[in-house]
Chain A
Amino acid sequence: MEKIYLLIVLAPLIGAIIAGFLGSKIGRAGAHWVTSGGVGLSALLSIYVLLQFINGSTGIYNDSLYIWMVSDGIRMEVGFLVDQLTAMMMVVVTFVSFCVHIYTIGYMAHDEENWPKGSLAGTNSYQRFFSYISLFTFSMLMLVMSNNFLQLFFGWEAVGLVSYLLIGFWSVRETAIFANLKAFLVNRVGDFGFILGIAAVAMYTNSLDYAEVFKLAPGLADTQISLIGGTEWSLMTVICICLFIGAMGKSAQVPLHVWLPDSMEGPTPISALIHAATMVTAGIFMVARMSPLYELSETALTFVLVIGATTALFTGLIGVVQNDIKRVVAYSTLSQLGYMMVALGVSAYAAGVFHLMTHAFFKALLFLAAGSVIIGMHHDQDIRNMGGIRKYMRITWITSLVGSLALIGLPGSSGFFSKDAIIEAVHHSSIAGSGYAYFAVVSGVFITALYSFRMYFLVFHGKGPRDEHAKAHLHESPKVVTIPLILLAIPSLFIGMFTVGDMVFGEWFKDAIFVLPEHDTLSAIGFHGTWAFFTHGIFGLPTLLAASGVAVAFVFYIKKPELAESWKKRFESVGIYQILDKKYGFDETYQALFAGGSRGIGKLLWNVGDKGLIDGLIINGSARSVDRFAGWVRNIQTGYLFHYAIAMILGLLVLLTWFVIA
């Protein structure tokens, strides 16, 4: 199996290297064949591995492949931990990535039009794009397959790097550069917390290996450490919250969520792959992987729960007022990530990870469908300009409908099972903050239905596109675009009903995820088979709310559009609309406070510290004195033999007097 795991990881990397370095030699077709081939191979092998786990013919693999170095007893190594959780993630990552690779062939077909003529950055941009997404797949696999914190951090940073490169892929657009810088900086904040968490783990357990750390963790559960100001903290709480700050950055949780909507500046395939299906779920995966640590700190769990619930509700609300098709989906992603965090917060890790999986399929589908619409609309992304597209793009229409229904939790669809499991788990939880979280996730269902179907109706129904020119050119996207849509639509609908019993309520994750009996909200639900769960859910409150959300959207945007206008005015008059439109002012505050503040401090330090002290006094000053000194001492090196001999004798005399006489 070890060879298979290595091959799964290395195939995308090799593809990325070939497409990246030899892009000009192998040409466009060569680049997409080699990368899609590599990722396709990984996907097939991952499915094989998953099947092996399902029929029980392989066990958990946990071994180190290479010891990079040993420092002070801490081993830094490359190794794989492949269990049921990893196997599932590997399939999700490689499968979505494979679909996205195929889709990109169509989406980026005319990429040269996005660049100024003859620009260097635009040369081979197609190959570069493929190289990046393959590299991303490699990094993400390294992250999920890691068996130690160091490799986790490597994967964590590597996916961040590729995300940065891809958000700013169209590097000649100022907005893209702004967005990738923002994503980079916000993630720095998260990663700072993350690395502090890892450092704390290494400091107290003297190991970076998951298995060893998890074994030692219960013994450290009662350890108290004192932080700044002499306050006493539980070690586990500190570690978990620090690690979670990393997850907040990567998985875009309030208040570090601001980068994700802007990341939509990147090409749509990567919005689907990185900013919906995989990378942003790294935080969820990480917390689930660290369940043996999180279970030891209720404070940390509450923290996760409250942050998640806040994200789930409030970012969903913003989605209702967005008009850019990709941004609506982006806010929906934020909100769904919040749901997953909520699940983790109530120790329903399996439900969170399950929602991660179903979400990966239907959200990637929604993004790719949005991309297909964007291709059809010639890169106009404003949903107010669209309408009636269902007549022109049948496959995109149907698959979008499937995606939206899965997202709002149509009973029977994948989203229904995963979301209901989360809501039920929150309902049965008694941890602090669960009341608030229950309110947030339940009302979130209504909001989700509202914004999803607002977008759906505005785009696909109603009167045709406003612009006659656009209307004339509207047609279905090519097969390379529609086939991935269909490929993703199937699991979006059906995967939930087949797997919910085993994954969420069954034994599937019992070796990968650790839950204390008193936290076990999922078994408190009492699961009596998928069918019972289904019938129970149909008449549940969430389904009712979802249906009413769709109904409200239908009335507002199809039946009586003037009603939407008048409600908008009504909200405007009390200021709620403006608050949502400004996204609660996070962006403005951050830009004024952090960006402006740090630039102010930077300027001050630059003027006084850097130019005056460091450049003037220390660097140039010391350089001048080194220079002067060197110029002076080089006179010693006269070239005369007797001077050299004298120097040796003098050296001898000094050493002799120093050591013998003294």
Chain B
Amino acid sequence: MQFDTSMLIPVLPEIFILTAACVILVVDLFLKEEQRVISYGMTQISLLLAIVVTLMTAPAETRIVFDGSVIRDGMSDLLKIAIYIISAGAFLYSKDYLKDRDLFKGEYYVLGLFAVLGMMVMVSANTFLTVYLGLELLALSLYALVAFDRDSANSSEAAMKYFVLGALASGMLLYGISMIYGATGSIGFQAIGEGLANPDVNKMVLVFGLVFVVIGLAFKFGAVPFHMWVPDVYQGAPTAVVTFLGSTPKIAAFALAMRMLVDGLGGLHADWQYMLVILAILSMGLGNVFAIAQGNIKRMLAYSTISHVGFILVGILAGTTKGYTAAMFYSIVYAVMALGAFGIVILLSRRGFEAENLEDFKGLNERSPWFAAMMLLVMFSMAGVPPTVGFFAKMFILESVVSIDMTWLALVGVFFSIIGAFYYLRIVKLMYFDKPVDASPLEAGIDTRIALSVNGLSMLALGMFPAGLLSLCSAALS
């Protein structure tokens, strides 16, 4: 491999985040307890600067460096920027929550930044090896984050389950990769793509490997039946962690699917299309139906995630640029919606009190009409009510499958969305039509207030003007 320094430029964002994480780790050592906010500030500034670095180093055309390991293209840039912004939002929401519970530690932010780095590597991966590297970096950071409140039995249990199942899924993914390597003799995506075109290649082995790869992916997404960890982790982990874990990793998972299935195994589209059909239908169906039966808001949102994942998979399985664009739009929008929903859950929690049950939303309108309205927007968006952005996200997905003559799948999606609308609207009903159990006013810092307002109103703004984000997405994929 020829090395020259210009190869470092495409990976500068990753280098920057890595450096920032290390610097914060060291600086944090020398901080007093009450100065912890400096680590927080540095993390946010790093994420902000990462946007600048990413924009400044954005290449005019796709660049593949380090012997084909890393790719820097329009998609990676857009997704990374979305990851920075949404992660920063999650860190912002979690600040007060962590402070109230004596969890306000530098490690949280360092682990968070490492997770961001892992996602960045995934997004820019161009070989199975790089994919795996990013995936594990993200997963290990998340395991630790889930167990962050280590005195809590629930958190530890959740982390344990997540870890064991994650290890199982990683094992399956690696096994699948080895099969594909065996059949094509390569782990680079371009090389695999060429290998698939070769008529001598053993189709049986390939499909065998493909099944394992898809399962690894499905676990990352939390698609049924590889979703079992999702509700337990969402419920057990501290809400602050769930805010992070429930939002950005969906974007990374989308990138994972694009890199592995489309870039690498695009030649097997006919095979993985039907695998994803099964996963998508099961996810949309069970996710929505299970969510209805939940009384715990975090569990409910966990099942809601699963159903949204089903929708993202529908977009990917369409196998057309239109479908990928729609799925990309959906995953970014979903991350923003999830961020808003958990932001409100965090807002409702106080020292010594976890807002976990649906009852805690009762009469929110009387306690704070503004935040109730924000939650209303987020819920409408999740349910897909126009003119919120959730409607357009769903519509683009449905359009993309209708255009490949799979109208029946669109109908299935619509059918389950209707079922899903029930539990989102139930929250709205609780907020607006029930009397509050606990009438104490909500306290929040000005930063949280502004962020939540921006977050909620973005549902409306993106819904009124969906063309902007959509054209960004389609430009990133072309």
Taking beta carbons and an 8 Å cutoff, which residues of A are in contact with B? 67-69, 623, 626-627, 629-631, 633-634, 637, 639, 641, 643-645, 647-648, 650-652, 655-656, 658-660
Contacts and interface: CB of A to CB of B under 8 A. Distances in A.
Most buried by A among B225, B271, B286, B290: B225
Contact of B225 (A69, A629, A650): A650
A429 to B, nearest CB: 47
Specify the main secondary structure of chain B where it touches its partner. Answer: helix
Nearest to A652: B215
Contacts of B232: 637, 639
A643 B165 CA distance: 11
Nearest to A629: B289
A67 B467 contact: yes
B161 A630 contact: no
B290 A634 contact: yes
B373 interface: no
Nearest to A646: B228
Given A69-B466, A630-B289, A644-B161, A660 B211 contact: yes
Contact of B293 (A627, A645, A650): A627
Contact of A648 (B168, B274, B292): B168
Nearest to B210: A659
B128 interface: no
B441 to A, nearest CB: 22
B208 interface: yes
Given A645-B168, A659-B274, A633 B214 contact: no
Nearest to B292: A630
Contact of A641 (B165, B214, B466): B165
Contacts of B271: 659
Given A630-B292, A634-B293, A644-B228, A655 B275 contact: yes
Nearest to A628: B293
Most buried by A among B165, B210, B228, B422: B228
Most buried by A among B204, B214, B215: B215
Contact of B215 (A69, A630, A655, A660): A655
A67 B225 CA distance: 42
Contacts of A648: 165, 168-169, 215, 219, 225-226, 228
A248 B204 CA distance: 69
Interface in B259-295: 271, 274-275, 278, 286, 289-290, 292-293
A645 B219 CA distance: 11
Nearest to B419: A626
B164 to A, nearest CB: 6
A637 B215 contact: no
Given A641-B161, A644-B228, A648-B169, A630 B211 contact: no
Nearest to B172: A652
A374 B212 CA distance: 83
Nearest to A651: B225
Contact of A630 (B212, B229, B231, B293): B293
A68 B468 CA distance: 10
B358 interface: no
17 contacts: A68-B467, A626-B289, A626-B292, A630-B290, A633-B289, A633-B290, A641-B161, A648-B219, A651-B215, A651-B225, A652-B212, A652-B215, A655-B214, A655-B278, A658-B278, A659-B211, A660-B204
Interface in B154-183: 160-161, 164-165, 168-169, 172
A69 B467 contact: yes
A210 to B, nearest CB: 22
B207 interface: yes
A630 B290 CA distance: 5
